[in-house]
Amino acid sequence: MPLPRPLEDRVAIVTGAGGDIGRAIALRLCAAGARVCPVDLATIATDGFPADRVLPLACDITDEQAVGDLVARVVEHFGRLDILVNNAAAPFHSGAVCDTPPEVWRHVLEVNLTGAFLLCRAGIPHLRDRGGVILNIASQLGHVTARGLAAYSASKAGLLSLTRSLALDHADEGIRAVSLSPGAVMTDRLIRRAGSKEAALAEHAPRHPVGRIGTPQEMAEAALFLVSDAAAFITGSDLLADGGYTLK
Ligand SMILES: NC(=O)c1ccc[n+]([C@@H]2O[C@H](COP(=O)([O-])OP(=O)(O)OC[C@H]3O[C@@H](n4cnc5c(N)ncnc54)[C@H](O)[C@@H]3O)[C@@H](O)[C@H]2O)c1
């Protein structure tokens, strides 16, 4: 039986699609019928995507002009824009507050928070045409924090707040804004940080009451729900997909 296609005709931009979670989300939205522009600093390989429904583009989301050009290209190519997924994130930095170089702090906030703001600012005028959805990929570390992760946690807490402002400021234009807060997810990013897959599991699984960490596919399923009409009455809120990490 063919999969249901709740996003038939919709057009989505997914940033950070070169990473495992962004790629899984972009692929899932495509499988649900959307036409998708996966974005990263360099153009991503599109194996696995239907060729007629994908437009991979390179864009530095901290560059206001480049983000404006990105949105214009997507609207020109697909004729509309319905969904923005702000998923890109700066490379991981850990260090206590006083060991965080100001340029690292600025870069993390610039990519994780200001980049999302810039894409919303450029994209919302098009979403206004027929309503639309903004999904910000936050983190369990936007709700709580962990030692040595001040810049990352602040950026993700900022995204939760930006989500609420977007939802309130644009509700009467038919636009919804939601966020998804993953717990640890088995991605290259996590493996790089821990040194190996085994080390990533050993470090992170015990912190999650369910006894394991998440998968990119689980995040993609949650993302699909949030951007689909099944979530039409949900706006301004965050979905924690964190295996219970924040319960303790
Ligand atoms: N992996 C996890 O355990 C985990 C947990 C909680 C939240 N998250 C969040 O999920 C999202 C995806 O995580 P991931 O593990 O796939 O990360 P990742 O680091 O593999 O992917 C992030 C992507 O963003 C891109 N990027 C960085 N700066 C950019 C810029 N200026 N312009 C455009 N693209 C840029 C990178 O090139 C990279 O491909 C991130 O927002 C991350 O914070 C991940």
DSSP characters over 130-199: T-EEEEEE--GGGTS--TTBHHHHHHHHHHHHHHHHHHHHHGGGTEEEEEEEE--B-SHHHHHHHSSHHH
pLDDT of residue 248: 87
Query: According to the model, what pLDDT value does residue 231 have?
Result: 98
> Which pLDDT does position 4 carry in this prediction?
84
For the Cβ of 181 lying below 6 angstroms from any atom of ligand 1, the answer is: no
State the distance from the centre of ligand 1 to the C-alpha of 2, rounded, in angstroms: 31
Looking at the structure of the chain, the number of domains it has is 1
The answer to whether the CB of 89 falls within 8 A of the CB of 14 is no
Q: Is residue 124 part of a domain?
A: yes
Q: Within a domain: residue 25?
A: yes
Task: Confirm whether 2 is domain-assigned.
Answer: no
Q: Which residues form the catalytic set?
A: 152
Distance CA 125, CA 111 (A): 22
Degrees to nearest 5, angle at CA 82 with 122 and 170: 60
Ligand 1 centroid to Cα of residue 22, in Å, is 7
Which residues of the chain form beta strands (DSSP E)?
A: 11-15, 35-40, 57-58, 83-86, 132-137, 175-182, 238-241
Within a domain: residue 92?
Answer: yes
Query: From first to last of its 248 residues, what are the pLDDT tens digits of the chain?
Result: 677 899 999 999 999 999 999 999 999 999 999 999 999 999 999 999 999 999 999 999 999 999 999 999 999 999 999 999 999 999 988 889 999 999 999 999 999 999 999 999 999 999 997 889 999 999 999 999 999 999 999 999 999 999 999 999 999 999 999 999 999 999 999 999 999 999 999 999 999 999 999 999 999 999 999 999 999 999 999 999 999 999 98
User: In this structure, is residue 73 part of a structural domain?
Assistant: yes
In a domain, 5, yes or no: no
Residue 4 in domain? no
The protein residue whose alpha carbon is closest to atom 19 in ligand 1 is: 189
Closest ligand 1 atom to 204 CA: 3
CATH of the domain at 50: 3.40.50.720
With a 6 Å cutoff on the Cβ, whether 18 touches ligand 1 is yes
Residue 215 alpha carbon to ligand 1 centre in Å? 14
Full residue range of the structural domain in which residue 59 is found: 11-247
